[in-house]
Amino acid sequence: MVAEGSGMARLRKKLRQLESNYFIFPDAENGAFHQYDAEHVCKAFDDMGVKYQCVRHRCRIVVTECLMRDDTESGNMMLDFLLQVSHFRKTAPPKLQKQVLDYIKSADCCDPRDEGGELILNSDCDAVIVHKSAD
């Protein structure tokens, strides 16, 4: 699951704040899909008294191409994948594009540039391992 505090988790939260008319987020209260991160699951297990272990997997994605080079097909496809939106660069208003791209480039989402100048998105994941009781 997406790790709480990762750049990817922060990006998902930011997208909800930016433009609810552009990004489609199903309503969890009406039984539709809702994206939870590992923190939500661990809290639920804590509330139920279920024993579990949470293991962090460090994951980094080089996102330079989708942020700095908007004329590449692979960069556009990567951006669409990260945002879970088809043809973001073609369909999103310019102001929204700037807000989203600036946020992804920020320290909230990306680690400091590596020696090669690449932008690296923190996309850590948590594995939540539930311990079966002996009962």
pLDDT score of 115: 72
Residue 55 vs residues 42, 43, 81, 120, 130: alpha-carbon distances, Å: 11, 15, 25, 21, 11
CA 79 to chain centre: 12
Strand ranges in the chain using DSSP code E only, listed in sequence order: 52-57, 60-62, 110-111, 120-122, 125-130
pLDDT in tens, 65-121: 888 766 788 888 998 888 888 888 888 888 888 889 999 989 888 887 767 788 899
pTM: 0.74
pLDDT at site 130: 92
